Amino acid sequence: MKSTSNKTIYGVIGAGSFGTAVANILAENGEVILYARRQVVIDSIQATGENRGQKMNPRVRMTNDLESLCQQCNIIFPVVPSSAFRKMMQSAAPFLKPHHILIHGTKGLNVLPPDGSETLQAGIPVSRMAVRTMSDIILEESVVLRVGCLSGPNLAKEIAQGQPAATVIASRFDEVIKHGQTALKSPRFRVYSSHDITGVELAGVLKNVMAIASGILNGLELGENAKAMLISRGLGEIVKIGKALGAKSQVFFGLAGIGDLIATCSSNLSRNFTVGHRLAKGEDLDHILETMKEVAEGVKTVKLAKSLCLHYGIKAPIVETLFQILYNKQGMAESMQYLMTNDLSVDADFWE
């Protein structure tokens, strides 16, 4: 964190809803440079003092110059969609040095399909070797070594309203966790720690799958019992997939795991929940995605989760059902029948 006149300067890459919320929290503890790729976004923020319905802290200043941001900030929070993350890192890499600390807030995964294609084909098994978390990409594309992630039940709108919330900073380095906690400390925002960065990243990604399913249940008006069943059984599927990819099971029972799962499965502020709800009301998936202002990461995560389950032999009825709904246009009635009649009957089988 570089200083000018004893003022700490933090960097945030990505001016979406969550990136903006993070920038405003950081501004309580120092100066902030917020990067937006498009000049029209910067002009709008500077003219109105607002972005994504959030009033900007006056200590947040805008830029579309990555080189300048990297030169002025030693601790940087990238918060961009996973589909754009590698390209963003490639653009920033020439200006990043080993002294930088990067703590990303992106809940997504990239995949390198085994057939060499650019996109994962539906129903093709993939292993951990083909999967890249955002921290993997940071390490692959830059000389940065001190990497962390920010994840938890962090609905941007509630954070922007000043409502109490908490998050987890995960890193293999205590130094990264300490710097992140110092940067984000706030009476309204509690910051916990974890050394299982892989587990925290996977928890933040896989819960998006269950949020879509919860939105479907909500749209079908199937009640709270069904939602409770979905969250508990969905947690089991998340744990199985996460353990297969190298995460420790404990992380999924903390704030970044079940905490985030409950929040996104229970709130219409969740983009993935909204996708499921609109699907249940009869809207076409392509139309839903085209009309959403921000990316719902869970849609492509369903495809990846299905491929991982195929490779590792994991039985995951919720993942399977969502895959059939999203990619094979299976009807809601048939999907519910499958979920209620599949042959898995042991409770908490993810401990075995």
Tokens of 290: 């085209």
Phi-psi region of 108 (alpha: psi -120 to 50; beta: other; left: phi over 0): beta
Rounded distance between C-alpha atoms, residue 337 and residue 120, angstroms: 28
Catalytic residue of the set 7, 97, 157, 207: 207
Contact 309, 316 (CB under 8 A): yes
The token duo for 109 is 């995964």
Of the candidates 126, 129, 32, 116, which has an alpha carbon nearest to the alpha carbon of residue 79? 32
Burial of 34 (0-12, 13-18, 19+ CB in 10 A): buried
With beta carbons less than 8 A apart as the criterion, state whether 182 and 148 touch. Answer: no
| CB burial string 120-141: b at 16+ within 10 A, e below | beeebebeeebbbbbbbbbbeb
Give the C-alpha distances (Å, rounded to integers) separating 243 from 217, 259, 313, 314, 350.
27, 18, 13, 11, 9
For the chain, the maximum distance between any two Cα atoms, rounded to a whole number of angstroms, is 66
Specify the DSSP class assigned to residue 58: T
Q: Active site includes 315?
A: no
List residues with catalytic annotation. Answer: 207
